[in-house]
Copies of this chain bind each other. A is one copy, B any other.
């Protein structure tokens, strides 16, 4: 499995962010072809010190080819456009591959 991870720093207006994110964005995101699972987490703190993160969402795909195809889809373009309407400057993303306890692809 591979995933796209979107990390959001703290918005100025969390209620407005949540309305746009949970009320609209997740529904658009769910239409992305090949998406197997989405895990949304609210950041609660850090073991030590502070954390800049507010919300982190992981979108799982079967493999890198499926994820690339999803990125190129019209559905992803629409979800990204809506995301940028309220989360620009707050979001950073990375892609990752799940590995086993030896570090090999799981």
Binding site for B on A (CB under 8 A): 2-5, 18, 21-22, 26, 30, 39-48, 51, 53, 56, 64, 71, 92-103
Contacts and interface: CB of A to CB of B under 8 A. Distances in A.
Given A22-B103, A101-B26, A95 B40 contact: no
Contacts of A42: 96-97, 99, 103
A98 B43 CA distance: 9
B56 A96 contact: yes
Contact of A40 (B44, B47, B94, B98): B98
A42 B105 CA distance: 9
A4 B47 contact: yes
A95 to B, nearest CB: 5
24 contacts: A18-B103, A21-B103, A22-B101, A22-B102, A22-B103, A39-B98, A40-B103, A41-B98, A42-B103, A43-B95, A44-B64, A44-B94, A44-B97, A45-B94, A45-B95, A46-B92, A46-B93, A46-B94, A47-B93, A48-B93, A51-B92, A53-B94, A53-B96, A56-B96
